Amino acid sequence: MRYQLYYWSGIQGRGEFVRLALEDAGADYRDVAREEGDQAMMPFLEGSASGVAPFAPPFLKAGPLLLAQTAGILQYLAPRLSLVPAAERTRLHAHQLQLTISDLVAEVHDTHHPLDANLYYEDQKEAAVLRARAFREQRTPKFLDYFEQRLDAGGGHALGRHSYVDLSLFQVMRGLSYAFPNAMRRRRRRWPRLLELAKRVEARPRLAAYLASPRRIAFNEDGIFRHYPELDDPR
């Protein structure tokens, strides 16, 4: 089956978690908005193309199915791409972990848009400085300590072997290192398993080829993981 992925064309964002799974598995897919422009998503978002409008990208078309929400898309794709063990208990645990990653991603977004997603960053910078400090000092350790423990229990993997959750943890570690380089560098000894996992994922042949290609959009200040020096630890 040829999948059709729909996400904003100029950022990694939440769509990157789906894209990493498709690329790692060597799946046949189209990155529709990157080929046709963001306007290609509008008929779906308005409901005229599908009858049931997704709330927001990313969404995936798989034959007659239209699936939205990052964790839900990955839950559907993973068994079809051999990116999750077959046991139902393990698949449910994988979904739980991915939802926790979604919580983390939402908190990352709120470091630079703590008051209103419709306001420019510059209009809420003072609140962002406070929110980012709390995120760096309290929330980042809470989330990453949890995932470090999961890797310890799983022999270096979130589920005991390579899975889509490992791919998502790679994206989280690279994104946090981009957004908060000083904070992550100072605490790197705290999360050795997560750092090692990120290196292993990055070296997987298909992922390495993807990351070196133009298909991998660089982190930027329009996405979720944004680097504003004033939001990072002082040097």
Query: Which one-letter amino acid corresponds to residue 50?
Result: S
What pLDDT, on a 0 to 100 scale, did the predictor assign at position 51? 72
CA distance 97 to 150: 9
CB 162, CB 155: distance < 8 Å: no
Give CA torsion, residues 232, 196, 26, 159, to 10 deg. Answer: -100
Q: What is the pLDDT along the chain (235 residues), one digit of tens a residue?
A: 899 999 999 999 999 999 999 999 999 999 999 999 999 999 999 887 777 789 999 999 999 999 999 999 999 999 999 999 999 999 999 999 999 999 999 999 999 999 999 999 999 999 999 999 999 999 999 999 999 999 999 999 999 999 999 999 999 999 999 999 999 999 999 999 999 999 999 999 999 999 999 999 999 999 999 999 999 999 7
Dihedral pair phi/psi, residue 2, rounded to 5°? -95, 120
What pLDDT, on a 0 to 100 scale, did the predictor assign at position 188? 92
What pLDDT, on a 0 to 100 scale, did the predictor assign at position 89? 97
What pLDDT, on a 0 to 100 scale, did the predictor assign at position 17? 98
3-80 and 88-204+214-231 share one fold:
no
pTM over 0.95: yes
CA distance 81 to 93: 17
CA distances (Å), 88 to each of 3, 79, 85, 100, 130, in order?
Answer: 24, 10, 8, 18, 41
Report residue 101 as tokens: 């990653």
> Per CATH, the architecture of 3-80 is what?
3-Layer(aba) Sandwich (3.40)
Which 3 state secondary structure label does DSSP give 8?
coil
Q: 88-204+214-231: what CATH class?
A: mainly alpha
Map out the domains of the chain as residue ranges. 3-80, 88-204+214-231
What pLDDT, on a 0 to 100 scale, did the predictor assign at position 1? 83
